[in-house]
Amino acid sequence: MASPSPIDDLTYDLVTVLQNKAEALEAYDKHLRDADDDEIVKLFSELRREDERHVRLLKQALVRRLDQDAHLDEEDEIDGDDAPAPDDDYDDYDDEDVVERSNDLVIEQLHSIATELEPSTSRAAPLQRRGETQRRT
């Protein structure tokens, strides 16, 4: 019997899209450094700002989702819904606490990731090439 995933599909999708958007922000930084055309710099800057907004929205959605999951897990513990019946076969688990701790750890890590992905204000400004003064747009 395969062990259930500690993260549901929707939460996983949110994390995946958030990661992709965060990586895109880093790519825009490089593209902005490499761009030598004011029109392209303006385009990349605009796209980067949109992705920063998307990252904020995804983080908010992920935090809401994780809070909902944590709340549902707490209700299950109170109701005893997650307790196995005595005759159920749980050979894949040595200890249910391991699964609960794993879920808690995943939630903590995702909260940490969401916090770390906050776009910094220094990155929000268009980057300039070495030796150049900042362009006015």
pLDDT value of residue 7: 80
At a CB cut-off of 8 Å and minimum separation 6, what does 56 contact?
119
Domain borders along the chain are 9-123
DSSP conformation letters of the chain: -PPPPSS-HHHHHHHHHHHHHHHHHHHHHHHHHH---HHHHHHHHHHHHHHHHHHHHHHHHHHHHHHHHHHHHHHHHHHTTTSPPTT---TT-S-HHHHHHHHHHHHHHHHHHHHHTPPPHHHHSPP--TTPPPPP-
pLDDT value of residue 6: 77
pLDDT value of residue 25: 94
d(CA 97, CA 103): 10
pLDDT value of residue 74: 67
Sites in the chain below the pLDDT cut of 70: 1-3, 73-137
